[in-house]
């Protein structure tokens, strides 16, 4: 009985340490299908190489997306299955080559679908809490400083991810 109680405590502590990804509320009129096409990363949250990473969302017949991530500093593109969820603001990224061993969700915080998209990914590892990686994406390689500042404020104030985690891509 003591062993069962000990295991319960261990699992309870482990579960609380995992944390949960914050899920943005679904915006009325949201249509994840409009995300299709090319997006340019305007923030440098990953590479610190100050080069554009592109995200190409290609619709599939089943309603999900094939996602190709191209980073100019990498020898190979990354290919991901972006599966729809019940929430029009969330996609689950599935690594088709099984190189990652954690859950990845792509959460859209704000977008007009034509010009900008503010999102964050949550990576949930088995051993520790979720890590939020914010992104500001654009349909073009440029974004006005005013718009970038407004979207950076959204990342910091509404999503709750420090703007210290991002910096603008300089081209």
Domain boundaries, the chain: 32-165
Which residues neighbour 106 within 8 Å (Cβ) at sequence distance 6 or greater?
82, 90, 91, 92, 93, 119, 121
Rounded-to-integer distance, Cα 21 and Cα 132, Å: 8
CA 83 vs CA 2, 30, 48, 104: distances in Å: 43, 16, 28, 11
Rounded-to-integer distance, Cα 156 and Cα 134, Å: 9
Per-residue buried b or exposed e for 18-36, using 16+ beta carbons within 10 Å of the residue's own CB: eeebeebeeeeebebeebe
Residue 55 confidence (pLDDT): 93
* Highest mean pLDDT pick, 18-27, 63-72, 151-160: 63-72
* Banded model confidence at residue 40, pLDDT cuts 50, 70, 90: very high
pLDDT, average across residues 62-82 = 88
Neighbours of 97 (CB within 10 A): 8
Neighbours of 52 (CB within 10 A): 16
Name which residue leads in pLDDT, 13 or 98: 98
Beta bridge partners of 67: 57, 80
* Highest mean pLDDT pick, 79-83, 93-97, 130-134: 79-83
Beta bridge partners of 40: 54, 138
- Tell whether the model's pLDDT for residue 161 goes beyond 50: yes
Q: Which CATH superfamily is domain 32-165 in?
A: Calycin beta-barrel core domain (2.40.128.20)
DSSP state of 25: P
Q: Which helix (DSSP H) or strand (DSSP E) does residue 111 occupy?
A: strand 103-111
């Amino acid at each position: 009985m003591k062993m069962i109680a000990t295991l319960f405590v261990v699992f309870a502590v482990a579960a609380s340490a995992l944390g949960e990804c914050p899920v943005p509320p679904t915006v009325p009129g949201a249509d994840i299908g409009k995300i299709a096409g090319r997006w340019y990363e305007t923030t440098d949250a990953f590479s610190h190489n100050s080069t554009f990473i592109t995200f190409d969302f290609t619709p599939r017949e089943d309603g999900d997306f094939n996602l190709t991530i191209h980073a100019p500093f990498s020898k190979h593109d990354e290919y991901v299955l972006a599966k729809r969820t019940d929430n029009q603001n969330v996609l689950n990224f599935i690594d088709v080559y099984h190189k990652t061993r954690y859950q990845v969700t792509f959460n859209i915080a704000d977008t007009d679908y034509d010009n900008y998209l503010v999102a964050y990914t949550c990576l949930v590892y088995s051993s520790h809490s979720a890590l939020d990686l914010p992104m500001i994406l654009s349909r073009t390689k440029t974004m006005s400083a005013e718009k970038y500042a407004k979207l950076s404020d959204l990342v910091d104030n509404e999503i709750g991810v420090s703007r210290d985690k991002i910096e603008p891509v300089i081209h």
